[in-house]
Structure 1
């Protein structure tokens, strides 16, 4: 109910027109989108959109706009290692790269903040036309806490780097005098680490100094028990993702890439009496201090569309905020099946329909998102489930072959604006699986009418 009332208030912030038209190259979606919005002012972000992917036929009745949101969020999460690196116990979440604080980077972070707010604005104001907009941005819980202005704790470091978290916790639990020789610095192996050296301890992100980080717990919590499950898989390949910047050098090598955790930290040894201060300062630098400029740019841009006091009014938790922007992280195929409709030749009782759902159920999370992307132009599941969508997902029957003289079966086609899947009458489960898989991978971006 809070979410519904919040969106009703957000809808009042949208402009009725004029329509802002975007012409985007699919393979350069992020770069083109940043360039188009550069210097246009925040008022443009409140206007309705009409999107065209250059070189692709289609009429945007909502489906192409949904696809722009989905394609752009995937481009940000999978193709921008200079902004976000893969983090978390499974390396399937994202966090801000500490070294991405140049003016060019900050402009991109501001764009991401506006883009996230725009997704909420469009869901609120034009939900009847577009349906709920969900973004494929699997950001770590500390990110959502900072966006909301909530303080972080030492345990939040576990969300980013469990190894580093355990290392710091072991320092707290043992006698380190004469055993561990650390200085009050954070040393990087990252080749661009020096870029983060100028960052000061954050004071602008909902707190001042180390007050943003609460005291460490007295016992080490179980890593799996305290980490929310995020089953979304980033890309099929993460070869282009940035390595964790939390990998540290030998502390004895106090180089130019060593960031002091306090004034004169390069020359201050960590002892039993100062180890708690060291642990808190180091965790704070990793979580907050080194990403202050980036998060400030993103947060300020986000609140230029959705005011902070409006967000504060509803007191969303970090998980609720993630659901608001990104929807459910795991695609529930059974929920989709329950709410799918059948028309023009299918009743839902045919063998081919049973085969379709068996194949869809066997897909991993990446393939399920690809299926939704192909079918509807959006690869996310709304927090309310598929039953909330209008028009509903539905299938219609089409002939297996375009030409009776050609024995090659046709691929499925999608009308993304209407969430309609034209499913040919395949003769076996194996043929159906082959054609569906081909359509959602090789055939990404193809649609009969969008």
Structure 2
């Protein structure tokens, strides 16, 4: 298997090189190629007519080609140094400890930054598990859950809008924001959905610009923002600023504001001028539009510039593909997060069976129980069987969900192979027993066990 894979890695790029050689050596072929290059039509020239599912396929194919290219480069480097090639060099192998998940992940990704474009494989130290996709999904899930916890301080959760936003606290090292960006990039690159609740503005900033500029001094992540963008994060603040814009009485006397804002940082209130001398410039009916625009720009761009720039470079260190130019901000969000809308009836229609027929009593019991679950238990079932409670771009049909008959004792709990989106279900004798065992299984689904 290794020989076949190495052969594919070596030969794939030469297929394209042979086409280029044909163009150079055959004058007639070259003329024809120039003709078609001038008049060739491509749907990629008109991304607004391409569906998000088609764009996902384009990005996947581009990712696969980059993975092959990076693996081939590693192979050539090994051979040129007369070292024996092995399978591990074809992957981005991360070894992390559960108790030190963030620090280990940051160290591994920093140390192996040259391998980010290889296929990702994760190993939890001290656990006997081979990653065929399931451990990678769990690594993403646990890491995101820990980083976005309010006590961690990197992101602020806004209850009114149910989303996270970047903390404006100043620090000496923004490497962990780069880690979060790299996580999002790796998720897109490896076709994994994440449970991240960023506002739409975040994805607009992530594509500003869609390709990293050659000049490192060029600002990144700065986009045109408005009150609508702020409303998705801080609806109360946006409402207050709208009232200011529509206020008909004396703005200067009634609001008594200046071009200065205040933010709390580690219990200390700090002031920032929205423009030079802003603390001495009163807000009036004549300049209130400027005040609101500067306020929104400060909140969404300037106050978090270093944090977001690190996040931006982390994402594009993995996803530096021209295919991103096809995407709108809302499409990036769908690629990263998938869809939170669960259609369990669609999952039922697209489920495959191994050892069971869909008319078997156990299967009928299973779907009666699952379709009657509340939303939180349905999400737990999806996470238990696939490693994520989000629905991919193509819907439930893209999950390739399978229920297999387990020949073990009916005293056992259901078992899942998240690598293959497979549920192994014993033939329980009653609907009550199936429901009880299923709830216990899906409610205790963290970690990898091998008996």
Return closer, same or farther for 1:120/1:366 CA change in 2, 3 Å cut-off: same
TM-score by length of 1: 0.74
Structure 1 runs (4+) deviating above 6 angstroms are none
Unpaired segments ≥5 residues, structure 2:
1-53, 72-88, 209-222
- What secondary structure does 1:103 align onto? coil
Give the distance between the partners of 1:79 and 1:33, measured in 2 at CA: 19
Instruction: Confirm whether residue 185 of structure 1 aligns to residue 260 of structure 2.
Output: yes
Matches within 5 A, 1:315-326: 316-326=327-337
Give 1:244-323 correspondences, 5 Å limit: 257-307=270-320, 309-312=322-325, 314=326, 316-323=327-334
Shift of 1:191: 4.1
Q: What is the alpha-carbon distance in structure 1 between the residues aligned to residue 260 and residue 368 of structure 2? A: 54
CA distance, structure 2, for counterparts of residue 112 and residue 443 of structure 1: 24
CA distance in structure 2 between the aligned counterparts of 1:49 and 1:11, rounded to whole angstroms: 12
Q: Give the drift of 1:164.
A: 0.7
Q: TM-score, normalised by structure 2?
A: 0.74
Tell me what 2:420 maps to. 418
Larger Rg: 2
Using the alignment, how far apart are the partners of 1:284 and 1:363 within structure 2?
44
Residue 201 of structure 1 is matched in structure 2 by none
User: 1:110 maps to what in 2?
Assistant: 178
Give the whole-Å Cα distance in 2 for the aligned partners of 1:293 and 1:54: 33
C-alpha distance after superposition, 1:229-258 (max 9, x if no partner)? xxxxxxxxxxxxxxxxxxxxxxxxxxx512
**What is the CA deviation profile of residues 410-436 of structure 1, one whole-angstrom value per residue up to 9, with x for unaligned ones?**
211112222221112334434333322
The residue that corresponds to 1:435 in the other structure is 437
SS at match of 2:90: coil
1:443 Cα deviation after fit: 3.7
2:158 is the counterpart of 1:87: yes
What SS does the aligned partner of 1:68 have? helix
Tell me, what secondary structure is at the counterpart of 1:418? coil
Q: Does 1:379 align with 2:392?
A: no
1:246-283 CA-partner distances (Å, limit 9, x unpaired):
xxxxxxxxxx5122212222222212122111111111
Residue 171 (structure 1) aligned to one of 239, 244, 249: 244
Identify the match of residue 359 of structure 2 among 324, 349, 361: 349
More helix by share: 2
Greater relative contact order structure (CA < 8 Å, 6+ sep)? 1
Question: Are the equivalent residues in 2 in contact too, given 1:119–1:325 (CA < 8 A)?
Answer: yes
> What is the Cα deviation at residue 28 of structure 1?
3.8
- Aligned-partner Cα distance in 1 for 2:349–2:311: 38
Q: CA deviation at 1:300?
A: 1.8
Report the 3-state secondary structure (helix = DSSP H, G, I; strand = E; otherwise coil) of the residue aligned with 1:417: coil
The residue number in structure 2 matching 1:46 is 117
Q: Is the 8 A contact 2:207 2:329 kept in 1?
A: yes
- For the pair 1:75 / 2:75, whether they are aligned, the reply is no
User: What are the within-5 Å matches in structure 2 for residues 25-44 of structure 1?
Assistant: 25-41=97-113, 43-44=114-115
> SS at 1:20's partner residue?
strand
Q: Give the corresponding residue for 1:226.
A: none
DSSP-derived class of the 1:349 partner: coil
| Separation in 1, partners of 2:159, 2:259 | 25
- Once the two structures are TM-superposed, the CA of residue 18 in structure 1 deviates from its matched residue by 3.1
CA contact (8 A) 1:413 1:446 kept: no
Matches of 1:339 and 1:27, distance apart in 2: 38
Distance 2:333 2:372 in 1: 26
User: Is the alpha carbon distance of 1:18 and 1:193 closer, same or farther for their aligned partners in structure 2, counting shifts above 3 Å?
Assistant: farther
Shift of the alpha carbon at 1:440?
1.8
For 1:397, the equivalent position in structure 2 comes to 405
Runs of at least 5 residues in structure 1 that lack an aligned partner in the other structure: 124-132, 195-255, 403-408
| SS of match in other structure, 1:51 | strand
Distance of aligned partners of 1:360 and 1:444 in 2 relative to their CA distance in 1, 3 Å threshold:
farther
Higher mean displacement: 18-27 or 171-180: 18-27
Once superposed, what is the RMSD of the aligned Cα atoms? Answer: 2.5
* 1:71-100, Cα deviation, whole Å (9 max, x unpaired): 323333346741212136342x2211121x
- What is the CA-CA distance between 1:382 and the residue it aligns to? 0.8
Structure 1 Cα separation of the partners of residues 350 and 100 of structure 2: 35
